[in-house]
Amino acid sequence: MNTFDLQMDFRVVFKDQAQESTAGLLGQMGAQRVLLVTDAGIQGAGLDQAYREALAAQGIEVAVFNDVEPNPTTANVEAGLALAKEFKPQALLGIGGGSVLDCAKAINILLNRGGKMSDYAGPQQGGAALLPLVAAPTTAGTGSEVSPFLLISDSETHAKIVCKDWQAIPKVAVLDPSLSLTLPPMATLFAGLDALVHGFEAYVAKGSQPYTQALALKSIGLVYQNLPKVMETPSDVEARGNMLLASNLAGMAFALSYLGLSHSLANALTKMKGTPHGLAVGMMLGAVIRFNAPVCGADYEHIARYLLGEGCPAEQQAACLALADAVEKMAHSLGMPKNLGELEFQESQIPELVEEALRQATIQFNPRTPTAEELTTLLESCF
């Protein structure tokens, strides 16, 4: 039995064209000065326009920080912090993908607690109160809008600083499908695969419990049904909304139970060749399900029956294999490469990948603890 202490202290607004509701909420919070954190791409696409107009209509003054790079750096955070110190906001609004939302969380921490980002590596407890942060994701993948994690790269050493702070979770998550309609196809696919893998890993992780499994199962079902729809019709508001919900549910789930082996292996792929995160985790999912099946077959069987219905084989291990095949088939049909060779990896690189994967923190939460030999066999199956 896994014991747990569940406390969720945030609000989720699910609404298309949610700019007026969002401005209204910020007004109710007493915020007359709001720092908008976003990036140049979001601004170039005009996605923040309606939100800025709604804030102006409420008499709320806005300063914009739009200099967040993908995989945000300590330099990005410091630049946003300098603007925040000058502008003295009463709340922050993040509009963007996981990078923007992580950067907004980091600015909030440094603004209210001082110091530098490296002071906040690892799990945090206590500390001064933060400003209310409202987070509107433009991608459906990371779940950063409901997670205590933030990931910032050190500009000098390039090391990743992973901070986990429950107080950094945004006070309000705004799931507004209109913000994700113009996300390009590959970015949509990679984000969707990330959300799918978050659901799978949260469901079977060593720290899973009934709440994480309920959230994760719903999330997996939503991705399985809606990722093909948004790839076929990017302007499908309902399917985009369902993907935002899926990412959000999975974000809540993995914040509570953490992740697993797909993320450990994917981080090794990303470190070696810069493979985009969502693509990397998606490439690993099928092989990880097959590897984990002997120890968490009942969990995978449950997911398999939920996704495949009457098409699910009766016997447990056959159901697990059918599940791995089904998620891979779906991802391949949407453009995910079929093997690591297509991503220009070579089998001679397996030992290096195994070494890196074994160093990842996520591996300790995987339901089956792999040896180096087992990871080698697993990666060989991906060529």
Least distance between Fe ion and beta carbon 277 (Å) = 6
Three-class secondary structure of residue 376 per DSSP: helix
> By C-beta, is 39 or 194 nearer to Fe ion?
194
Least Å from the CB of residue 191 to Fe ion: 10
- Binding region for Fe ion (CB under 5 A) out of 153-161, 189-197, 327-335, 347-355: 189-197
From 91-99, 146-154, 191-199, 224-232, give the range in contact with Fe ion by CB under 5 A. Answer: 191-199
CA distance 287 to 284: 6
- CB of 65 or CB of 258, closer to Fe ion: 258
Piece in contact with Fe ion (CB under 5 A), picked from 27-35, 91-99, 131-139, 194-202: 194-202
CA 12 to chain centre: 16
Q: Which is nearer to Fe ion, 48 or 194 (CB)?
A: 194
CA distance linking residue 329 with residue 308, whole number of Å: 13
CA separation for the pair 344, 330 (Å, rounded): 22
**Shortest reach from residue 198's CB to Fe ion, in Å:** 6
Residue closer to Fe ion (CB basis): 47 or 265:
265
Closer to Fe ion at the Cβ: 34 or 223? 223
Q: Which stretch binds Fe ion (CB under 5 A): 7-15, 84-92, 192-200, 369-377?
A: 192-200
Candidates 114-122, 156-164, 190-198, 291-299: pick the segment binding Fe ion (CB under 5 A): 190-198
- Secondary structure class of 154 (helix, strand, coil): coil
The CB-of-51 to Fe ion minimum distance in angstroms stands at 26
Nearer to Fe ion by C-beta: 165 or 194? 194
Q: Which element (helix H / strand E) includes 160?
A: strand 160-164
Whole-number minimum distance, CB 366 to Fe ion, in Å?
Answer: 14
Task: Please compute, for residue 303, the number of CA atoms within 13 A of its CA located in the half-sphere on the CB side.
Answer: 34
Q: Could you tell me how far CA 337 lies from the centroid of its own chain? A: 21
Q: ∠ at Cα 81 (75, 82), nearest 5°?
A: 95
How many whole angstroms separate alpha carbon 274 and alpha carbon 203?
27
The runs of H, that is alpha helices, within 170-260 are 185-204, 210-232, 237-257
Among the listed residues 130, 131, 134, the one whose alpha carbon sits nearest the alpha carbon of residue 172: 134
Judged by CB under 5 A, the residue of 194, 201, 301, 328 near Fe ion is 194
Stretch that binds Fe ion, among 162-170, 188-196, 238-246, 371-379 (CB under 5 A): 188-196
Residue 102 beta carbon to Fe ion: minimum distance, rounded to whole angstroms: 12
Q: How many residues make contact with Fe ion (CB under 5 A)?
A: 1
Instruction: In angstroms, give the least distance from the CB of 292 to Fe ion.
Output: 17
Say how far apart CA 61 and CA 65 lie, in whole Å. 13
Nearer to Fe ion, 120 or 200 (CB): 200
Amino acid at 123: P
Q: Point out the residue whose Cβ comes nearest to Fe ion.
A: 194
Q: Which is nearer to Fe ion, 51 or 200 (CB)?
A: 200
91-96: strand order across its sheet: 11-14, 172-175, 133-137, 91-96, 33-37, 61-65
C-beta of 80 vs 367, nearer to Fe ion: 367
What residues contact 105, with CB distance under 8 A and at least 6 apart?
94, 133, 144, 150, 165, 168, 170
Sequence-distant (6+) residues with CB within 8 A of 300 are 204, 289, 292, 293, 319, 320, 323
| Minimum gap (Å) between residue 250 Cβ and Fe ion | 9
Closest distance of CB 350 from Fe ion, Å = 22
Cβ(59)–Cβ(88) below 8 Å = no
| Residue 176 near Fe ion by CB under 5 A | no
Measured distance CA(124)–CA(261) in Å, rounded = 24
Using the minimum distance from each CB to Fe ion, give the nearer residue, 176 or 194. Answer: 194
Mask 55-94, x = binds Fe ion (CB under 5 A)? Answer: ----------------------------------------
Q: How far is the CB of 316 from Fe ion (least distance, A)?
A: 27
- Site residues for Fe ion, 112-141, by CB under 5 A, read none
Q: Which residues bind Fe ion (CB under 5 A)?
A: 194
